[in-house]
């Protein structure tokens, strides 16, 4: 299984941008990069995914390195409700998501 590496935790202030990094040096050409987040006592929630190009949606942006060995999830203006564990996951083609331990994002007022 292709692996991802994320920092255990990060801190941010409310209304500031947040850049959550993820390394995936063993990524294969067909692996999609997915990001999910999990709020306390809830199930994971889809955030965004991409293959090669940068992606934007209403929740976040995903910046993918040219060699695809790393990516960054960007929350443009963090809110208190963004405090969660963020998982960077490689979706292995026709297979399932394999979660790591993620990054716990703390947002201060």
Partner 1 sequence: NAGVTQTPKFQVLKTGQSMTLQCAQDMNHNSMYWYRQDPGMGLRLIYYSASEGTTDKGEVPNGYNVSRLNKREFSLRLESAAPSQTSVYFCASSELSFGDRELFFGEGSRLTVL
Q: Where does this chain bind partner 1 (CB under 8 A)?
A: 30-32, 34, 36, 41-46, 49, 51, 87, 91-102
Find the shortest distance in angstroms from Cβ 34 to partner 1.
7
Q: For residues 14 and 49, which CB has a smaller minimum distance to partner 1 in the complex?
A: 49
Find the shortest distance in angstroms from Cβ 16 to partner 1.
26
Q: For residues 21 and 99, which CB has a smaller minimum distance to partner 1 in the complex?
A: 99
Q: For residues 47 and 75, which CB has a smaller minimum distance to partner 1 in the complex?
A: 47
Contacting residues for 29 by C-beta, under 8 A, at least 6 apart? none
Angle (CA) 15-21-101 rounded to 5° is: 105
Find the shortest distance in angstroms from Cβ 67 to partner 1.
19
- Beta bridge mates, 71: 22, 64
Contacting residues for 66 by C-beta, under 8 A, at least 6 apart? none
Q: How many helices (H) and strands (E) does the chain have?
A: 0, 9
């Amino acid at each position: 299984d292709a692996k991802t590496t994320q920092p255990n935790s990060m801190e941010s202030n409310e209304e500031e941008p947040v850049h959550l990094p993820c390394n995936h040096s063993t990524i294969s050409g067909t692996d999609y990069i997915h990001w999910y987040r999990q709020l306390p006592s809830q199930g994971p929630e889809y955030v965004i995914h991409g293959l090669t190009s940068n992606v934007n949606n209403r929740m976040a942006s995903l910046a993918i390195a040219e060699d695809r060995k790393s990516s960054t999830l960007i929350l443009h203006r963090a809110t208190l409700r963004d405090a969660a564990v963020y998982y960077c996951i490689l979706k292995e083609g026709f297979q399932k998501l394999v979660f790591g331990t993620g990054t716990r994002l703390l947002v201060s007022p």
